[in-house]
Chain A
């Protein structure tokens, strides 16, 4: 149980384009989903927390207009990187939890974004 999928797994795009990444909880309802970014050989960096039906809470330093998050249902959250630039190239990982405090986060497989 507790399977999270992410799509696409890898994307290459030109600078200035927008990229949408989907995160789905396959066998449970995720009241809360998290979006992380991880640069090579570095730890996970939380970008934002999204709760179904409400606006995402962004971490300090993360531009909400650049990284659009939509958590439209209990099984789907999307992250759109708008006007992507080469410095946005990174490994983007989502995680989901069923709800309640202290619930384990289960991670999607990640999306590797390369902006040329």
Chain B
């Protein structure tokens, strides 16, 4: 079956760095997305990786290893507003998005 695994919850300190991991098992693979979702709001797009390696976008970076079925989202210089859920989603061979349950990130002062 198809499956996305990511930690349920993580806690980090304001100003620090946090890495949110995601492993995936899908029938075929056409890329991996990260979305941010604040409580009570819809997800917003953060990144898309389809090739191996690191994509940097400001304070956020996303990494992909297709051979390992693994991705991570790296958040630097954490701010209180980064407290949110981070959703990992993989695109399978039918270009359907398979969603993870999300990682709730709690930022402490």
Interface residues of A (CB under 8 A from B): 6, 42-44, 46, 91, 93, 101-102, 104-110, 112
Closest Cβ of chain A: how far from B95's Cβ, in Å?
Answer: 5
Say whether A110 contacts B95, CB under 8 Å. Answer: no
Closest Cβ of chain B: how far from A68's Cβ, in Å?
Answer: 21
Q: A44-B43, A93-B42 are in contact. Are A104 and B33 (CB under 8 A)?
A: yes
Considering the chains assembled together, what is the distance between the CA atoms of A10 and B97 in angstroms? 26
Interface residues of B (CB under 8 A from A): 30-31, 33, 35, 40-45, 48, 50, 87, 91, 95-97, 99-102
Tell which of A42, A101, A102, A110 touches B42, judged by Cβ atoms closer than 8 Å: A110
> 29 A–B contact pairs at CB < 8 A?
A6-B42, A42-B101, A43-B87, A43-B101, A43-B102, A44-B43, A44-B87, A44-B99, A46-B99, A91-B40, A93-B43, A101-B95, A102-B31, A102-B48, A102-B50, A102-B91, A104-B33, A104-B48, A105-B97, A106-B45, A107-B42, A107-B43, A107-B44, A107-B45, A108-B42, A109-B41, A109-B42, A110-B41, A110-B42
Q: A44-B87, A109-B41, A109-B42 are in contact. Are A102 and B95 (CB under 8 A)?
A: yes
Prevailing SS type, chain B contact patch: loop
Closest Cβ of chain B: how far from A91's Cβ, in Å?
Answer: 8
Considering the chains assembled together, what is the distance between the CA atoms of A42 and B87 in angstroms? 11
Please name all residues of chain A whose beta carbon is closer than 8 Å to the beta carbon of B87 when the two chains form the complex. 43-44
Say whether B41 contacts A101, CB under 8 Å. Answer: no
Prevailing SS type, chain A contact patch: loop
Say whether A102 contacts B41, CB under 8 Å. Answer: no
Please name all residues of chain B whose beta carbon is closer than 8 Å to the beta carbon of A102 when the two chains form the complex. 30-31, 48, 50, 91, 95
Say whether B45 contacts A104, CB under 8 Å. Answer: yes
Closest Cβ of chain A: how far from B104's Cβ, in Å?
Answer: 8
Please name all residues of chain A whose beta carbon is closer than 8 Å to the beta carbon of B48 when the two chains form the complex. 102, 104
Closest Cβ of chain A: how far from B82's Cβ, in Å?
Answer: 18
Please name all residues of chain B whose beta carbon is closer than 8 Å to the beta carbon of A6 when the two chains form the complex. 42
